[in-house]
Amino acid sequence: MCVRCLEAVMVNAIKAVEGERTSSSVYHLLKGKKSAQTIQDAHLYQLTKWFHTAPFLTLSSFETMMNGLIKKAYITGDLQRPFVTQEGVENMNRLFQQTGSFNELSGWQFSGTASVFFSRLQLLVQVASHLTYGDSSYYPVTRDDRILEWVKRFLTYMPCSKKELSPRLYSELDCLFRQLPEQPECIVIRFSGHKQTGKTIAQAAERLEMEETEYWFRFLHALHSMIKNITESMSGTPLLQAVVMDIHDPVTLTISARQTADHLKKAMTIDQIAASRRLKKATIEDHIVELALNDPSFSIRPFIEEEKEAAVIEAARLVSNRQLKPLKEKLPDHSYFQIRLVLAKESGKSV
């Protein structure tokens, strides 16, 4: 294999932003930085599925990999202005052909939920397993007090007896695993229970004979698919629904953007909000774009008239890639903010 899965993901993201963004914007995207800029980029370039899918990255490991890709000539230019080469595209495609294209992965929607969900699930399976085998002395698989507390509460209030927990969990998981886009072993191998300990990510990858980052993305893919199925089909998996329920936050907003939303509700203008929050006007505009992306009920009308909105949508159809500059050239009377806002509202609909 000449390219690791994570590298293919990087090439994929660089390809989307090439000529317009630096490589660090891709780093922030994969790392899931909650800044208005990163969130907008994720939507603007339709990279939401990769958002926050590689939280383990460090800037230096990312740059080392970028330089590796440049050396292999999959990417030209430099970290400031990277472009993907034909060879890079071919290698990326070859890898995705083998791994599949992770269709049900949605970092933007699920990454926050997924990590909490999996920690809870791991602990719940461990507890259920030991309960069934009547084995009460074991070390919990997590040291996160919030997860420990949550499972304790869950056991008190769950809609079944302790005896039923294990078979019911089994049947719910079985039901989900049958619809999984990945082999269910990639999830099960990570569970701890009676007389067996879950495998680490590196161990799981080795055992399943996969490159480590390929395993990681397949694992995430499986996890996101599970969460999607749990939240969408409202009947089949009541226990697991209760596991996900209070984590799922459909509108993922940065705190600062929420505050801007509160000010907008008081009918303040952008300038007034900027003045009262001592922020730059551009920052407030970023928040508004973020709101447009995330909240389907958010109206952009105060900032752009209907006709001008239609003009942006029309122009965007003609310009195939979503670059702002050519759009702006076609729309001299629009501000950049207005163009971004309309694009955000439009891509928000497709999330």
Partner 1 sequence: MNVENVLHERFGFAEFRPGQRETIESVLSGQHTLSMLPTGTGKSLCYQLPAYLLPGTVLIVSPLLSLMQDQTEQLKMRGEKRVIALNSFLQYEEKTAALANLNRYKFIFLSPEMLQLPQVIGALCPLTVSLFVVDEAHCISQWGYDFRPDYRLLGDVRHELGSPLTLALTATATEKVRQDIREGLHLPTVKEWVFSVNRPNIALQVETLQNQMDKHQRLIELVTFFKKPGIVYFSGRKATEEAVIQLKQAGIVRAAYYHGGMEASDRLLIQHQFLTGELDVVCATSAFGMGINKENIRFVIHYHMPPQMESYLQEIGRAGRDGNPSIAILLYAQGDESRHEFIAAMEFPDDGQIRQLTEYSVNPRDIQPPLSETQERFAVHYKQEANQKRLNAAVYMKERRNHLLTRKAEKRNEMLTWIFSSNCRRADYMHFFNEKPLKQPHCCDCCGIDLSIYKNKSVSRRSEEQLNWRNMLAQLLPGK
Q: Kindly determine how many residues on this chain lie close enough to bind partner 1 according to the rule CB under 8 A.
A: 43
The residue range among 165-173, 231-239, 276-284, 342-350 that interacts with partner 1, by the rule CB under 8 A, is 165-173
* CA angle in degrees (0–180, nearest 5) for 261-340-77: 125
Instruction: Take residue 322 and report the two structure tokens written for it.
Output: 């979503």
Q: How many other C-beta atoms lie within 10 A of the C-beta of residue 220? A: 25
Residue 177 makes contact with partner 1 by CB under 8 A? yes
Residue 173 makes contact with partner 1 by CB under 8 A? yes
Q: Which of 2, 78, 170, 321 binds partner 1 (CB under 8 A)?
A: 170
Residue 194 makes contact with partner 1 by CB under 8 A? yes
In the region spanning residues 15 to 44, those forming contacts with partner 1, defined by CB under 8 A, are none
Contact 32, 51 (CB under 8 A): yes
Residue with tokens 């990510």: 201
- Cα(18)–Cα(238) distance, integer angstroms: 44
Residue 103 makes contact with partner 1 by CB under 8 A? no
Q: Which of 202, 282, 310, 313 binds partner 1 (CB under 8 A)?
A: 202
Among 251, 242, 217, 237, CA closest to 104: 217
In the region spanning residues 136 to 155, those forming contacts with partner 1, defined by CB under 8 A, are 137-143, 145
List Cβ neighbours of 304 (8 Å cut-off, separation of 6 or more): 312, 334, 338, 341, 342
Count H helices, E strands: the chain?
18, 2
Residue 54 makes contact with partner 1 by CB under 8 A? no
Residue 197 makes contact with partner 1 by CB under 8 A? yes
* CA angle in degrees (0–180, nearest 5) for 151-152-157: 90
Site string for partner 1, 296-325 (x = CB under 8 A): ------------------------------
Indicate the residue among 125 and 315 with the shorter CB distance to partner 1: 125
List Cβ neighbours of 324 (8 Å cut-off, separation of 6 or more): 20, 336, 339, 340
Residue 246 makes contact with partner 1 by CB under 8 A? no
In whole angstroms, the minimum distance from the beta carbon of 73 to partner 1 comes to: 28
In whole angstroms, the minimum distance from the beta carbon of 25 to partner 1 comes to: 23
- Cα(185)–Cα(188) distance, integer angstroms: 5
Q: How many other C-beta atoms lie within 10 A of the C-beta of residue 179? A: 14
Residue 192 makes contact with partner 1 by CB under 8 A? yes
Interface residue list for partner 1 (CB under 8 A): 56, 119, 125, 128-129, 132-133, 137-143, 145, 166-167, 169-170, 173-174, 177, 183-185, 187-189, 191-203, 207-208
